[in-house]
Structure 1
Amino acid sequence: GPGPLRARVARRKPRQRLDRSSFTALARGAFEASAAGLADGQDHDRLIDADLGPGAGASAGAALDPTAEAAERVPLADLVAGTRLGTGMHLLLERIDFRGDPIGWRQQAEQLARRRALPAEAVEPLLGSLNTLVQTPLGHGALDFRLADLSRRDRIDEMGYVLPVALEAAAGRFVPPGAAGGAPRDRRTAPGSAAFPRVGPADLARVLAAHPGGGLPEDYPRQLERLPAQAIAGWLRGSLDLVFRRPGPQGAACWYLIDWKSNRLGRHWSDYAPERLAQAMAQHHYFLQAHLYTLALHRHLARHAGYDYATGFGGFLYVFVRGMHPDRPGSGVLFDRPPLARIEALDALLREGRR
């Protein structure tokens, strides 16, 4: 009769693990190698908010006389900076009703401070600035409205996303060993190997450079190309701070996204002027972040019947909270709407990997 059953001995090395990463890891020059810290759903992208030091405006120029200095000084000039403030501010903005509830705002802020999620010394300055923030018109044409006009039913806070990177190429290159008509699997192109069609900063830079326009600085792709981060195949994970809808040109919903920034660019209003915001966006690769966020939202909206990028996506706004005021239109807010061709090219790159 047949002999005893024996387990076959594995002769192949285990396939390398696919990468799980985030925008923050990319911008810091290294991808996260494991899922540790990602499984809890925390938005790691906020952790890159930083104190960029004195700006290129009045803070870096000649000394102002006391009267002029007081007039040009932003109210949150001396508010503590750092990761804890950024995280706590995000949590506070996620929880409050923008339409006005000072008692509720205070309860939320004090609760976060008790949990040590927000520095205690930041509670009063932030509460004093919230009404300024929600009453400031965001500007930019059709988006000339205030956060105070936005109801809860028209907003989604902390909308999570997962962007597959080169996984379609992985499926296309995988041939089961011994399959009819198939050649033996080429280990050099297995997911996780060096020859697999990954995506890196140079690939992303080529896409941005090939589709200029909008508010993207002409030299930003060259800056992105020099980012010292390894190429990946796997997933990019994060969350969008705020997604909201407004009536579009034909009456249908038009969707926008906001990313909150607590960065301290300087002490004066000139430090939050449009050109200074563009510098900060490039320095911290927020332009790359904005395009990944735009693609994530575009993919989500494209699943719904009738969606069209031209009328259904309004653009992204990067809101530098320290630099906003109703009497300073355009200060502290950077808006852009990438051309569709650029987003489609980025979509193809992430689906198929480097070609």
Structure 2
Amino acid sequence: MASAAPQARLFTGAIDRSWGIASFTRLVSGREADLLDEGPLLEPPPQEVPEAQGIHAFPRGMHAGTCLHEIIEQVDFADLASAPEITQRRLRAYGINGFDDVVSENVRRLAALPLATGEDRFALREVPNESRIAELEFSFPIHRLTNARLAEAFALEQLPLPIERLQFQPINGFLTGFIDLTFEHAGRFYFADWKSNWLGPTTAAYRPAAIAAEMQRNFYTLQLCLYSVALHRYLRLRQPGYDFDRHFGGAFYIFLRGLDPAQPENGVHFERLSRGFVEKLSGVFE
């Protein structure tokens, strides 16, 4: 007698959908829009806009931005001899022509850019390759992360960040990400994040007030906070005798299209979070 054909059992259990891999992008993907912060709904009278030139005419979007990231990742800021060749090779790989000299000049500006922390002032060309890590990946466990718990931590720090606009379900699992550049200078550790956002056709569009608004609009301040926790945890594990006040330097958000030697404050946002806040936020994920 022939046996019955085997059949798969029907799964009737419940899967906890809160478990997964989270990232900055996931946390902000469902944020609410706030039309009141976006200015008037009616279009303003047309104004004459200067024609974009140089780095301001460089292609926009994720494809071009990734190309710039790869160039910066491969360049040795302390020795730019190979930078033009690296720039040309990556631009061709991405099908971008006519910007070799423009991007090479932008890389030189980035290497020489004065980075001010309030206590120190230095440039990336002073940081040797052995003191930097490009694309540092991090991943750490999170337990029952909600925007309410984030808001509780952010109440400690006066940051222009409307956490209540975030709309995500409670998350269990891991928070992961990549830090564009992590480096050490004069005994302190910093990280930098490159932004290729196009804010206008001249460097005047990248003044500190405009950069601050862009940081808030895109929730980059939240990203800065998450990455600060990641660096804090990394140093706690890897740096002998780690002390936040002595070793943690802060974060630079550098808007690549806004670099101007005549106005070095343009295109740069620096933030050094307090020890209490970083430790409180780190505890939110535990």
TM-score normalised by structure 2 residue count: 0.83
SS at match of 2:115: coil
What one-letter code is carried by the residue in structure 1 that aligns with 2:181?
L
Residue 87 in structure 1 maps to residue 97 in structure 2: no
- For the aligned residue pairs, the C-alpha RMSD in angstroms reads 2.5
Change (3 A) 1:14 1:267: same
Change (3 A) 1:61 1:147: farther
SS at match of 1:77: helix
Equivalent position to 2:148, from 202, 209, 214: 202
SS at match of 1:13: coil
Per-residue CA shift, 1:222-279, capped at 9, x if unaligned? x2211233231111111111111111xxxxx210010011111112333211111111
Which structure is higher in strand share?
2
CA distance in 2, matches of 1:300, 1:132: 30
Equivalent position to 1:268, from 187, 202, 207: 202
Equivalent position to 1:321, from 235, 241, 256: 256
Once the two structures are superposed, the pairs formed by residues 277-316 of structure 1 within 5 Å of their partners are 277-303=211-237, 304-316=239-251
Match of 1:151 in 2: 128
What one-letter code is carried by the residue in structure 1 that aligns with 2:103?
L
Once the two structures are superposed, the pairs formed by residues 59-70 of structure 1 within 5 Å of their partners are 63=48
Q: Unaligned regions of 5+ residues in structure 2, if any?
A: 1-8, 32-44
SS at match of 2:105: helix
CA distance in 2, matches of 1:152, 1:141: 24
Q: Unaligned regions of 5+ residues in structure 1, if any?
A: 1-8, 31-59, 167-197, 248-252
Once the two structures are superposed, the pairs formed by residues 150-169 of structure 1 within 5 Å of their partners are 150-166=127-143
Per-residue CA shift, 1:168-191, capped at 9, x if unaligned? xxxxxxxxxxxxxxxxxxxxxxxx
How many residue pairs align between the two structures?
Answer: 263
Alignment identity in percent? 31
Match of 2:113 in 1: 136
Once the two structures are superposed, the pairs formed by residues 1-355 of structure 1 within 5 Å of their partners are 13=13, 15-16=15-16, 18-29=19-30, 63=48, 75-102=54-81, 104-116=82-94, 119-166=96-143, 198-208=144-154, 210-213=155-158, 216-217=159-160, 220=161, 223-247=162-186, 253-303=187-237, 304-351=239-286
SS at match of 1:233: strand
Query: Does the 8 Å CA contact 1:316/1:337 hold for their aligned counterparts?
Result: yes
SS at match of 1:316: strand
Per-residue CA shift, 1:279-305, capped at 9, x if unaligned? 111111100100010000100111233
The answer to which structure, 1 or 2, has the higher relative contact order (CA under 8 A, 6+ apart) is: 1
Once the two structures are TM-superposed, the CA of residue 22 in structure 1 deviates from its matched residue by 1.5
Query: Does the 8 Å CA contact 1:257/1:316 hold for their aligned counterparts?
Result: yes
Change (3 A) 1:11 1:148: closer
